[in-house]
Structure 1
Amino acid sequence: MDKSLSLLILWLQLDWVSSEQVMSQSPEALNVREGDSLVLNCSYADSALYFLQWFRQDPGKGLTSLLLIQANQKEQTSGRITVSLDKSSRHSALYIATSQHSDLTTSLCAVRHICTEGACSQHSNCRRGSNHVLSWC
């Protein structure tokens, strides 16, 4: 018997993050059959990436980290989950192999930026002495 899973993808732009930082996630919602693989995409605009992290949020619960990938890495894998990062196209993908009912969740990606002198002039929330700016998608 085929079981259909629905996965809601949510992106959040926190109030304190500069509106100049553009992030998007696709698709917004996804229906897959249990056992199928799925791919979620996250694009970001800022080139000063420090790391990108994917999270899940189950209804009524806090965020749980799925996988973190650093700027110098192209791919990270943990179990059925793989995250790829292409800095040149400013894109990350979350791959979940052999989807399970427990994958029915909200997924989010977050980008941490390096705050340098140049970045401080671009982002109003970036202050000298700050190390990083966190943007949510």
Structure 2
Amino acid sequence: MGHALLSSRTDLRHRLAADQPTAWKEAADSIEQAGTDGYALDLADFHPDISCVAVPLWEDDRARAAIAVAGPATRLPEARLHQIAAHIQKVIKGARPQTPDHSDMQPWPIRGDSAGGIYRCPTLCCPVRRESVTIEKA
């Protein structure tokens, strides 16, 4: 998963190269390949019996997280990992970010918040401070 994230983060790649040159030499080709492919593979390199594929999740032109699938190397050969990566990429491209509708805010009692300034949005996606939204009463 780390290689998928590092493939888009030149700042972290430079830091790794400077701080851990031996680790960088071992990982550089894999990280560069992940940048080219759009996902990273671990073909039982880290653990002899486990293979993994990781696809970065992008936000604001930067990989902020990754989705990974790992399993026994006997069940996840390289060809299958490429198929899984393609499927994950397809699902990610089809997903549309949803902007939460904070018009129907409900108080969200949180210990230590005596003023009641924390609300939750109706989709339960996030806590929101009262000051960050306009709550209109009918």
Which has the bigger relative contact order, CA under 8 A and spacing at least 6? Answer: 1
Normalising by structure 2, what TM-score?
0.31
> Which entry has the higher C-alpha Rg, 1 or 2?
2
Structure richer in helix, relative to its length: 2
